[in-house]
Structure 1
Amino acid sequence: MRLAGLFAAGFAVSLAAVAQSAEPLRLTKTIPLPEVSGRLDHLAIDLKGHRLFVAALENNTVEVIDLKASKWVRNVAGFSKPQGVFYAPDIKKLFVASGADGTCKALDGRTLAVTGTENLSLGADLVDYDAHSKQLYVGHGGKDAGNDYGELALIDAISGKKVFGVQTEAHPGAILVSDSPRVFVVIPEKSHVLVLDRKTHTIMQTWTVAGGSRTVSLAVDEVKHRLFVGTRNPPAIIVLDSESGKEVARMVTVNTLDGIYFDRAARRIYASGGEGFVDVERQIDPDHYESIAHVPTGPMARTSLFVPELKRLFVAVPVAPDRAAEILVFEVQP
């Protein structure tokens, strides 16, 4: 009887483990984006205002979603291929970087009216924000601007004006302002990761990502000191020691990789790509990982945003012949 009981208990635990690994993300909502054409780029969140912002690159708009009502409410026009978006809740401003005219525009967080424009150079793209210094980091330049170098612009978020520029060897890709005194930046053309000092704005180190080109995305495990670098060729997530830059692991992942995120609470990595899937990897320990799910999204659904406070992953799916553009809302399962 006791053996039977142990077997039943063990079987139940096994079933629970299978269920957990089978569904780490559950699709809870699909939010249509009416009359939005072309590619969708990056997303931003206003937690207190319950709003999601989506850069509709080819539509030249920023789309606004009411997350309480789970519906599209409006768009903001007047951009020229908007790519990078960030909402700064401490100063209640939305920032939009546009690639075709090289501008970074500041918008009033309540009315979404443009309150300032800073002219950078063509290719203005990904952004991140340092709430301590109230500075915005914007990558721009490179081949898009006809240059063999790029720049990481630092913009004072209060005035909206550029206060400093860090020259880079090519156009900067993903930017990650960490909790430490460092900023990580990838240079896709060179397969490099730059490590910047947040106070001096100097490049402290340059790490070469071996065996992978087109470094496009970044995520970090601040506690275990692991930096996750997404590459497109081959499609992989390469795990580096964030102190030394030494590679400790790598995983094959979704094609046309764009967004990667580390979920500290669930110890998972979420990676979205244009192949039409989100790959989910589980962190066994800082140096070992396993694939636990290949979640379907939609064709060319490259960009996404993970919001740990909501335990939600938002995936942007562009328009297709059989459906409108939409945002898929996935809930993290324990």
Structure 2
Amino acid sequence: MKHIVSLTMLAIIAFTSNAQFKVINSFKIASNGGWDYISVQPNSNRVFTSHGNQVNVLDKTTGDSLGFIPGTIGVHGIAFIPALNKGYTSNGRLNNVFVFDLKTLAVLDSIPTGKNPDAIFYDDFSKKLITCNGRSNDLSFIDPVTQKVVATVAVGGKPETAVSNGAGKVFVNIEDKNEIVAIDTKTFKVEGHWSLLPGESPTGLVIDNKTKRLFAACGDNNFLVILDAETGKLVDKLPIGKGCDGASFDPTLKNIYTSNGSDGTITVIHEDSKDKFSVIETIPTKKSARTMDIDVATHKLYLPASDTEPATGNGRPKMIPGTFQILVVGK
């Protein structure tokens, strides 16, 4: 019997067997200001990064500027609904979400939310846009057609990042309670509070919907905590680098990545099976590279960063003006 290997499988084998991940490019952005999330627009050549009071849009291959979205005061995250030709920014200091045209980048409207909307994402199952509101301790569920908040769900603490299981449940990590809250998107009711201990101060959160596993990056004591997304039970915990504020998941390579800003590294954890995980690599990046997003089509990671001055006392290192950049990590 002949064995036939698909071209896709050959590509995956070639990708995983070649050289290790490393920083392969750096895109400079001249403007000043801090940053939070970065988002790769699916099925496009664009990457969007929050920066100061605007969102910069770059060609993900060349780093060329493709424009910017102004006036996003206190911007945290960016989300997309290509079917509506719309994008969205969560503006923490404005307590709202901007709606922008995906083609022209023109701001079309604003939607009031809870206080200090932070992470933002679109849940394709419920057809709702969701913001994690850090100061009002709740989530805003927005109907993108009417552009109105249709539900506000209190979560009992500071929500950091949320993900969907694609089947009617949303999970959000609560940074100051060391737990994940499970929410039914049909009823907008909290269904569970799941402890992440021994993990503390969860930041990045990703999910594998095939194995039904949640991966919470806990920044205070440097663990990736893995929970069963059906029961909330602890599956495993693994060490990661210091200062993590983001996580990504590659469903093809079965890799979980944590961006560790204090160390200037990415920890790579492989999902060997639904109950077995291995730390397989530590990728040097740059101190301050604490958030990231993945382009699942190319397996590349994009991380905002800057050069910094040494911290004084218990303060944070200060950004050196003019050094903001996007690191590209790949093979």
Give TM class, smaller chain: 0.7 to 0.9
Which residue pairs with 2:25 in the alignment? 29
The answer on whether the counterparts of 1:38 and 1:318 sit within 8 Å (CA) in structure 2 is no
Is 1:211 matched with 2:198?
A: yes
| Counterpart-to-counterpart distance in 1, 2:169 and 2:127 | 15
The answer on whether the counterparts of 1:128 and 1:177 sit within 8 Å (CA) in structure 2 is no
The answer on whether the counterparts of 1:186 and 1:216 sit within 8 Å (CA) in structure 2 is yes
Within 5 A, what are the aligned runs for 1:107-122? 107-122=100-115
CA separation of 1:293 and 1:180: change in aligned 2, threshold 3 A: same
CA separation of 1:310 and 1:28: change in aligned 2, threshold 3 A: same
| Counterpart-to-counterpart distance in 1, 2:292 and 2:111 | 26
Instruction: Give how far 1:243 is off.
Output: 1.2
Kindly provide the amino acid, as one letter, of the partner of residue 171 in structure 1.
Answer: K
| Counterpart-to-counterpart distance in 1, 2:303 and 2:281 | 16
Which residue pairs with 2:279 in the alignment? 291
Kindly provide the amino acid, as one letter, of the partner of residue 296 in structure 2.
Answer: P
Which residue pairs with 1:279 in the alignment? 267
| Counterpart-to-counterpart distance in 1, 2:306 and 2:164 | 28
Kindly provide the amino acid, as one letter, of the partner of residue 285 in structure 1.
Answer: S
Kindly provide the amino acid, as one letter, of the partner of residue 53 in structure 1.
Answer: F
SS in 2 for 1:213: coil
Deviations 1:247-282 (A, max 9, x none): 121111011111112222212111102121111112
1:123 to 99, 102, 116: 116
Between 238-247 and 19-28, report the one with greater CA deviation. 19-28
SS in 2 for 1:170: coil
CA separation of 1:285 and 1:141: change in aligned 2, threshold 3 A: closer
Q: How many residues align?
A: 306
The answer on whether the counterparts of 1:40 and 1:318 sit within 8 Å (CA) in structure 2 is no
Which residue pairs with 1:153 in the alignment? 140
Instruction: Give how far 1:23 is off.
Output: 4.4
Which residue pairs with 2:317 in the alignment? none
Cα-Cα RMSD = 2.2
2:306 to 289, 300, 318: 318
Instruction: Give how far 1:125 is off.
Output: 0.5
The answer on whether the counterparts of 1:154 and 1:162 sit within 8 Å (CA) in structure 2 is yes
Any gaps of 5 or more consecutive residues in structure 1?
A: 1-16, 143-148
Deviations 1:136-173 (A, max 9, x none): 0011153xxxxxx5110011112322111111212211
1:266 to 246, 253, 268: 253
Within 5 A, what are the aligned runs for 1:189-200? 189-200=176-187
Instruction: Give how far 1:118 is off.
Output: 1.4
The answer on whether the counterparts of 2:16 and 2:253 sit within 8 Å (CA) in structure 1 is no
| Counterpart-to-counterpart distance in 1, 2:248 and 2:167 | 18
| Counterpart-to-counterpart distance in 1, 2:187 and 2:115 | 26
Kindly provide the amino acid, as one letter, of the partner of residue 34 in structure 2.
Answer: R
The answer on whether the counterparts of 1:213 and 1:234 sit within 8 Å (CA) in structure 2 is yes
CA separation of 1:181 and 1:134: change in aligned 2, threshold 3 A: closer
Q: TM-score, normalised by structure 1?
A: 0.85
Instruction: Give how far 1:330 is off.
Output: 1.8
SS in 2 for 1:90: helix
Q: TM-score, normalised by structure 2?
A: 0.86
| Counterpart-to-counterpart distance in 2, 1:107 and 1:272 | 28
Instruction: Return structure 1 stretches of 4+ with deviation > 3 angstroms.
Output: 19-24, 319-323
Which residue pairs with 1:96 in the alignment? 89
SS in 1 for 2:326: strand
Instruction: Give how far 1:323 is off.
Output: 6.6
SS in 1 for 2:118: coil
The answer on whether the counterparts of 2:126 and 2:168 sit within 8 Å (CA) in structure 1 is no
Any gaps of 5 or more consecutive residues in structure 2?
A: 1-12, 309-319
Instruction: Give how far 1:299 is off.
Output: 1.7
Deviations 1:183-238 (A, max 9, x none): 11111111110111121111111101121221112111211221111111201101
